[in-house]
Amino acid sequence: MALIQNMDGFSSSYIEQIYITTEDGAYARIRCRRFKDVCKYYYTVKQYITDITRFESEYEITAAEYDILRNNIKPNTRPITKKRICFLYKDQLFELDMYDFDNNFSTLEIELQSEEQEVYLPPFINIIKDATFDKSYSNYALAHKIQ
């Protein structure tokens, strides 16, 4: 963590993420994302195109809408809370998520322009496992595992 704190161009936020049931059975979530003292609320629907490509439809909602939608939490899931650090490395946007349920567990995600884009992993992060195609590391799967 100390290495990231010394980097230029990083930002951090705290996220609460909840998977919800919808009338049409869509894969949906709501998020509260806090930057310092400002909270923003989002509703997202995802559609998977390939194992690593997805289409996301996301829009901002109000705090009141978020509170109402929280009641629709998907059965057998728990809210995920995490700290997210976003940073650039070699013109690539990385998101490092550190989860509240386990201080020794984190995930690193990169936002690619295409599946063919070459990836340059930051040398200051110790990557233990490539979980690109392992769905058990998805936030959706983690929401089912949290006790």
Q: Model confidence over 44-99: pLDDT tens digits? A: 998 777 766 767 899 999 999 999 999 999 999 999 999 999 999 998 999 999 99
Q: What pLDDT, on a 0 to 100 scale, did the predictor assign at position 3?
A: 42
Pairing of strands 80-89, 11-20: antiparallel
pTM above 0.75, yes or no: yes
Helix (H, G, I), strand (E, B) or coil at 71: helix
Nearest Cα neighbor of 81 from 14, 34, 13 is: 14
Q: Which residue did the predictor score with more confidence, 8 or 100? A: 100
Which whole number is the average pLDDT over 21-45? 91
- What class does CATH assign to 2-145? mainly beta
Name residues whose C-beta falls within 8 Å of residue 21's C-beta, 6 or more positions apart in sequence. 28, 72, 73, 74, 75
What's the mean pLDDT when you consider all of the chain?
88
The encoded tokens of residue 131 equal 């979980």
Q: Domains of the chain: which residue ranges?
A: 2-145
